């Protein structure tokens, strides 16, 4: 009887295992294959050697992505905290309000920022009508980071909020009973308990920020070519799949390293609480 159900569970899992092998593992293998071959299909390290030219681009992408993620965290954390304190009715309304923009196409939202930040856009029109000098907003790194923060902020708010919501309130009360003041409780209970949310928020903002190309193309100028742009160019116009694949390969590895470092934080803190 038990055997029968375990056989069934094996059978039920088979289609998915095949699918995952074919469309998750094999494609990644293809990336590696293209990264290490030339156009004749022969093994080469030339593509990887080529990458050294793009090390600045990698550094810039990771830096801007990190900046955007940290800013997201600074904005999202207080908001998630405020939300978690509210009544259930208000909470669900606010969750909906945060999710609503996310469901609108991100290309359109980013394009809209372009019209806001342009030299003759809304912000500059407002500034000049108040009698100030217009600012250079578009085509800057600031604009690119703003675009990232804007697009991915909800991905930071929601996980933190969810974790805070699940926090056992009795822990907070216990800390208060033990004589902790508000700040102490916040520092020693609320923050450590929210770390898993921060880590998953960090992942969900950092990964798309580092690899974006649309945001930097629309809001950035000549000085903000990111690694995503380079990869996109290799596959869409330069017709150099091998270089594109090796760039993707390195990007993937770098991101996994960053995430592994990030996960150290949550592991350690798990130890601290208990």
Partner 1 sequence: MKKTSIGSKLYQALVFIFLYAPIIVLIVFSFNSGKSTSVFEGFSLHWYKELFRDAATLDAFKNSMIVAVASSIIATVMGTTAATAIYGYKNKLLKSSVMTVTNIPMMNPEIVTGVSMMLLFVFIGAVFGKTGTLGFGTLIIAHTTFELPYVILNVLPKLRQTDPHLAEAAQDLGCTPLQAFFKVMLPAIMPGIISGLMMAFTLSVDDFIISYFVSGTESQTLPIRIFSMTKRRVTPDMYALSTLIFVAILVLLIVSNIISAHGDKKLSKEKGGAKK
Partner 2 sequence: MIKRFFSCLIAAVLLFSCALPALAAPAEKDYSHLRGTTLNVYNWGEYISDGSEGTLDVNAEFEKEYGIKVNYTNFDSNENMYNKLKSGGANYDVIIPSEYMVAKLIDEDMLAELDFSNIPNYQYILPKYKGLYYDPEEKYTVPYTVGMVGLIYNTTMVDGPVDSWGIMWDEQYAGKILMFNNPRDAFCIAQCYLGQSVNSTDTKDWDAALDLLKKQNPLISSYVMDEVYNKMEKGEAAIAAYYAGDYLTMYDTNPDLAFCYPKEGVNYFVDSMCVPKNTENKEAAELYINFMCREDIAVANANYICYATPHALVLESDDYDLKGNEILYPDESQMPVTQIFENLDYETQQYMTMLWNELKIEGNSIMDAYVGLSVSLALVVIYLIYKFIKKKKREAYY
Q: Is 145 in the site for partner 1 (CB under 8 A)?
A: no
Of 35, 51, 64, 185, the one binding partner 2 by CB under 8 A: 64
Residues 3-42 touching partner 1, rule: CB under 8 A, are 4-6, 8-17, 19-20, 23-28, 30-31, 33-34
Of 81, 102, 116, 118, the one binding partner 2 by CB under 8 A: 118
- 165: tokens are 């919501």
Q: Is 211 in the site for partner 2 (CB under 8 A)?
A: no
Q: Is 210 in the site for partner 1 (CB under 8 A)?
A: yes
Residues 213-272 touching partner 1, rule: CB under 8 A, are 213-214, 218, 228, 231-232, 235, 241, 244-245, 248, 251-252, 255-256, 259
Tell me how far, at minimum, the Cβ of 6 lies from partner 1, in Å: 6
Residues 128-167 touching partner 2, rule: CB under 8 A, are 136, 138-139
Q: Which is nearer to partner 2, 119 or 173 (CB)?
A: 119
Q: Which stretch binds partner 1 (CB under 8 A): 44-52, 100-108, 129-137, 168-176?
A: 100-108
Q: How many residues bind partner 1 (CB under 8 A)?
A: 79
Q: Is 66 in the site for partner 2 (CB under 8 A)?
A: yes
């Amino acid at each position: 009887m038990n055997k029968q159900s375990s056989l069934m569970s094996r059978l039920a899992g088979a289609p998915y295992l095949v699918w995952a092998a074919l469309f998750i593992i094999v494609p990644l293998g293809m990336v590696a294959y293209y990264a290490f071959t030339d156009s004749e299909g022969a093994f080469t390290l030339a593509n990887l050697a080529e990458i050294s030219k793009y090390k600045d681009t990698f550094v810039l992408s990771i830096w801007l992505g990190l900046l955007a993620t940290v800013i997201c965290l600074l904005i999202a954390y207080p908001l998630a905290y405020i939300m978690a304190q509210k009544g259930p009715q208000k909470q669900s309304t606010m969750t909906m309000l945060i999710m609503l923009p996310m469901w609108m196409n991100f290309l359109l939202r980013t394009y809209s920022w372009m019209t806001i930040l342009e030299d003759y856009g809304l912000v500059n029109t407002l500034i000049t009508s108040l009698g100030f000098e217009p600012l250079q907003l578009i085509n800057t790194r600031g604009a690119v980071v703003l675009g990232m923060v804007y697009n991915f902020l909800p991905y930071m708010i929601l996980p933190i909020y969810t974790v805070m919501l699940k926090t056992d309130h009795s822990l907070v009360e216990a800390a208060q009973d033990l004589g902790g003041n508000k700040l102490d409780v916040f520092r020693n209970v609320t923050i450590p308990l929210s770390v898993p949310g921060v880590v998953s928020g960090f992942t969900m903002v950092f990964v798309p920020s580092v690899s974006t190309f649309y945001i930097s193309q629309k809001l950035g100028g000549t000085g903000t070519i990111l690694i995503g742009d380079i990869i996109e160019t290799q596959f869409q116009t330069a017709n150099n799949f091998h270089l594109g694949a090796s760039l993707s390969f390195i990007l993937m590895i770098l991101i996994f390293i960053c995430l592994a470092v990030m996960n150290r934080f949550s592991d350690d803190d798990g130890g601290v609480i208990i």
